[in-house]
Amino acid sequence: MSVKVLSPVTGVLAPITEVPDPVFAQAMVGPGLAVHPELTAGDAVSPVDGTVVTLHPHAFVVATAEGPAVLVHLGIDTVKLKGEGFTLHVAKGDSVKAGQPVIGWDPKAIEDGGRSPICPVVALDATVENLVDMREPGPVEAGDTLFTWQR
Write out the residues near another protein by the rule CB under 8 A. Answer: 22-23, 26, 28-29, 53-54, 56, 59, 61, 69, 71, 73, 79, 124-125
In Å, how far are 19, 63, 110, 145, 146 from 94, measured between CA atoms?
Answer: 29, 11, 27, 22, 23
**Minimum CB distance to another protein, residue 103 (Å):** 13
Do residues 48 and 143 make contact, with C-beta atoms less than 8 angstroms apart? no
Active site residue: 36, 56, 58, 73, which one? 73
Looking at beta carbons only, is 22 or 114 nearer to another protein? 22
b/e burial code for range 69-94 (CB count within 10 A of at least 16 → b): bbbbbbbbebeebeeebbebebeeee
User: Is 73 assigned a catalytic role?
Assistant: yes
**Minimum CB distance to another protein, residue 144 (Å):** 24
**Minimum CB distance to another protein, residue 22 (Å):** 6
